[in-house]
Amino acid sequence: MEIWVHRNGQYAGRFTESVIREKVAEGSLSPSDLAWDEAKSAWKPISEFLASSAPASAAVPASDSPSSGAMDPASAAEPKAAEAPRAAPPPLPSTSAPEAMAPMRAAGPPPLPVYSASGATAASGAGSSIPATAPEGETIWSPYMAILCSLFLSPAFGGFVIWRNWLKMNRRRRAMVAAPWFWLGFVVVGLVFYSRDRLALVVWVAYLLAWIAFSAYPQIRYVNTTLKREKLLWGLPLLAALGLGVVGVLAFHFFAPTLETIPRLEPAPQQPTITQVSQPHDRVYSADELRDLYKSSVLEVRTTWKERKSTLNKKDNGASGTGVLIYNDAEYGLVATNWHVVDPGENMTGGYKCGVRFSHDKDFADVEVVAKAKNEVDLALLLVRLDGKWTPNQFPVRALDSIKEGECCIAIGNALGEGLSITSGIVSRFDKVKEQTLIRTSTPVSPGNSGGPLILCRGGSLGGIVTLQSRITNVQNVNFATPAQYIFDKDLWEWESGQDKAQQLLNAAISQASKK
């Protein structure tokens, strides 16, 4: 016997009981879809219909089978009209009240269940037990929350939610289509995790747009249009997304590769035209003369801060470097150094201090970082209080275009954080790095020399600020200094608020240098 099946507001067709069981198992029919019970002339959920029909068929004795020639009394009592061949389903009945419905034709399909405005069942057939509201569906995670969390966290999370929802709703074919988006999300996360460039972000955005269009939106449309109304959960996916975000941040903090980018240096085809800020004389000084002349104008720089090692572990960290006194009056001095000497990085949690010590002092004095150079130039300015106790010598500054390859030079710096020391070498050549030019020198430098002066023996002038040491294996005496004349470019600096005194000192230094 074939059974009428009703699904999503329309007839799904006529099937035998075995075919219905197969369709329920494969997911094309749901246990909550409706089947017509001929015996009771009423619609029933397929799950109830199959449960009630299984024991009845098993209880029929062998002597009552059609082959024995006996007639089933129940079947003999049915009207002959029920045995007539069934025609195609008629148009769907209207949703008016039960009294206004036309009677069902004997040769046609059973009437569809009609839900009245008052909530009473209006389906024809005695004993109908169909609820007046649409049957409830499964409890699933909100696909809207999946989209929201994917925008701010991981695209793999949204792919998992959509995949899980299809499985919960017993839509296995749709789940098979959604599963590749989940696994592809991990590929996108790995790409962004290990490749921190713009291309990775473009791939992330493209994946999200494609996933929303072809995976998330079809599920939203299905949930909004199906007869069964799925229950959407918002709290659980939100908590899961937050937990995933915390795990991702910790994983990125501990396992992301540390990319130490060393700038690729290329020879400058020609030196830029820059106004000369000083006119040094031609006397050639010896290394010991330069030491005695300027050692009091070179400072040891030390910075300390507290840093997060892990979520529950914090430690003290710091750096050592060198500074150069550019200009001073009776009360304050302006000191130049490298930005990387005073920059604590992104892991600092507090307790930042920056101090300097002159060669004649025993202790470090606190100073204030007042400016940072723009355009990735590795320079910073410090404001130190002198209290009028002494007047150090100020460096004359040599313009970059007047420095020649092969000139002898010395470096004074706080090498290894063990105090000031002196090394000597020559100017090797000039290298173009992005928008700036660096002075390459054979003068040996070590960690701690950063921010110290590169002094030219001819004229005893300040040529540059020691900035970079080559880290390439088996390479010796390939070191770099930022031209000192960059310090006197007022447009280069980003000032901290309220640094009028520091700007006055810089203006005075520029004015003094232009007169020499």
In a domain, 281, yes or no: no
* 82 shares a domain with 180: no
* 299 shares a domain with 436: yes
Quick one: tokens of 368?
């204030």
* 446 shares a domain with 345: yes
* 297 shares a domain with 160: no
| pLDDT above 60 for 37 | yes
HSE of 243, CA atoms in CB hemisphere, 13 A:
6
- Euclidean distance between CA atoms 425 and 501, whole angstroms: 37
Q: Which position has the higher pLDDT, 223 or 269?
A: 223
What's the CATH code of the domain at 331? Answer: 2.40.10.120
* 129 shares a domain with 143: no
Domain boundary, last residue among 203, 236, 255: 255
* 460 shares a domain with 493: yes
* 410 shares a domain with 357: yes
pLDDT on residue 117? 40
- Number of neighbouring beta carbons within 10 Å of residue 88: 7
Q: Which position has the higher pLDDT, 162 or 425?
A: 425
* 210 shares a domain with 149: yes
Q: Which domain holds residue 159?
A: 137-255
Nearest of 219, 167, 162, 218 to residue 185 by alpha carbon:
162
Domain boundary, last residue among 211, 231, 255: 255
Would you call 514 helix, strand, or coil by DSSP?
A: helix
Q: Give the pairing of strands 229-233 and 136-141.
A: parallel
* 374 shares a domain with 460: yes
* 159 shares a domain with 18: no
Rounded to an integer, the average pLDDT of 365-377 is: 89
Rounded to an integer, the average pLDDT of 118-123 is: 42
* 232 shares a domain with 331: no
| pLDDT above 60 for 75 | no
In a domain, 67, yes or no: no
Nearest of 375, 373, 340 to residue 260 by alpha carbon:
340
Of 20-29, 111-120, 178-187, 440-449, give the range with the top mean pLDDT.
440-449
Q: Which position has the higher pLDDT, 89 or 100?
A: 89
In a domain, 69, yes or no: no
CB 467 within 8 A of CB 346: no
Query: pLDDT tens across 160-190, in order?
Result: 888 888 888 888 888 888 888 888 877 877 7
Domain boundary, last residue among 255, 272, 299: 255
| pLDDT above 90 for 429 | yes
* 430 shares a domain with 337: yes
Q: How many separate domains does the chain show?
A: 3
In a domain, 44, yes or no: yes
In a domain, 152, yes or no: yes
In a domain, 265, yes or no: no
pLDDT band at 438 (very low <50, low <70, confident <90, very high): very high
Q: Which position has the higher pLDDT, 391 or 29?
A: 29
Convert 57-74 to b/e letters by CB count within 10 Å (16 or more is b): eeeeeeeeeeeeeeeeee
pTM: 0.48
pLDDT band at 297 (very low <50, low <70, confident <90, very high): confident
Q: Which position has the higher pLDDT, 230 or 97?
A: 230
pLDDT band at 390 (very low <50, low <70, confident <90, very high): low
CB 30 within 8 A of CB 115: no
Mean pLDDT of the chain: 74
